Structures are given as structure tokens and as C-alpha cells.
Amino acid sequence: MNEPTPVAVDVEEPRTRRIVEVALRLAEEGGFAAVRLRDVAEQAGVALRTLYKRFPSKDELLLAVLVRELMRLEQQLAEHPVVGPTPVLRLRRLFEVLTACLCGRPNLGRAIVRALAGGSTTLPQQMRPFHDRVDALVIGAISGGAEPVPSDPAHPQQRLGAMLQHVWFSALVGWSNGLHATEEIVEAVIDAASLVLEPP
């Protein structure tokens, strides 16, 4: 039997925003274990049934937290774009900002990484908009904002964006398990970018 197609959640809708903000605070304070859906519903002032309609699982709720934080980051980057003389240097700055957003709040970062790596069958479909938004940031950094984001997933810039996200997430998993320092996450991504954009 096929899994139901997940419905996209509007994280700007007022009740949903309250739910997401409570989950964000709980994750910052106590990590993954602290985000109990019953507690989130109570503190957000919504019925547990209302929360479950929007977020059937903790993993999906934490993905919404990640999307909300990315939207805030997009506003910040719109006001203060990444700059640098080369695509690789601009990518370094971008991934420093992205990584600091998660790793600067370790409890939150580890909670989100755990949720994304948790094996939910519907989460990969719901992550597509997040990946697309990060792709747009990556391609903007590569081009210096001079080119539109290509819509073809087979376009070289789209493929590079997807590859760098894979490297970034793998390094984040290592960080969350105590294997990498924050700086090593960025270095892993930049090593990959340099091999493509500035081959030896």
C-alpha cells in the first residue's frame, strides 16, 4: 500500500507558527528528547489533534523548525549577501552562515539532524522545498547573484548544489555524533566545491 502524499505546511500561518516557535525553543533547551508533541501543543495553546493534523511526527515538526530558520536566514542574506572575489570564497561564506545557524545552537542542531536522519518515509518528500531553497542560495553564491536559478535538475549548477548539500549533511551527521568540529563541516563542503570549480 502506498504512503499518503504529505501536505505542505504553511509555517507562517499563525497557529502553525506558534507550534514551530515552541518546538524551536524546546529543542534549543533540551534537544530532540525535549520536543514532546503533547508539551508543544500545550505550550502553543492548541489542541493535540490540531498539532497532529499539521505534524504527524516529531521529525516533521523539526523539519518545519528547520524551514522556518532557513526563511529567517534568507532574509538575513537578502540584506547582507555573501561576497567574495571567487565562487569558492562565496560558497565558503554561505556554508559558514548555514553551519553556524545549526551548530551555533548545538541542542537544536543535533535535534534537527537526528530528525532528518530518522528514516521517516514521508520526510524525504517534504524536504524537497528545503533542498530547493538551499540550492537557490548555493547557485546565487556561485554566480554572485548574476544568474537566475536554473529549473532543470540536470543543470550542472543544480547538480553541484545537490552534491554540496549531500556533503554538508554527511558532515553535519558526523558533527552531531562528535566526530567533526564545526570548522571541519565547512572544510568538507569547500573541498568538494574546489574540486569542481577550481580543479588542480
Parse the chain into domains and list their residue ranges.
14-197
* Confidence at residue 70, expressed as pLDDT on a 0 to 100 scale: 94
| Degrees, nearest 5: CA angle 115-184-163 | 65
* Confidence at residue 28, expressed as pLDDT on a 0 to 100 scale: 97
- Under a CB-based contact definition with an 8 Å cutoff, are residues 187 and 195 in contact? no
Sequence-ordered alpha helix ranges (H) in 35-155: 37-44, 48-54, 58-79, 87-103, 106-116, 123-126, 128-143
Helix axes 106-116, 156-176, angle to 10 degrees: 120
Whole-angstrom Cα distance, residue 140 to residue 145? 5
* Confidence at residue 61, expressed as pLDDT on a 0 to 100 scale: 95
- pTM for the model stands at 0.88
* Confidence at residue 14, expressed as pLDDT on a 0 to 100 scale: 87
* Alpha-carbon torsion, ordered 187, 175, 55, 45, to 10 deg: -110
* Confidence at residue 2, expressed as pLDDT on a 0 to 100 scale: 42
* Confidence at residue 5, expressed as pLDDT on a 0 to 100 scale: 41
Q: Mark the ranges of the chain whose per-residue pLDDT is less than 70.
A: 1-8, 119, 121, 146-147
CATH code 2.40.50.140 for 14-197: no
- Under a CB-based contact definition with an 8 Å cutoff, are residues 95 and 87 in contact? no
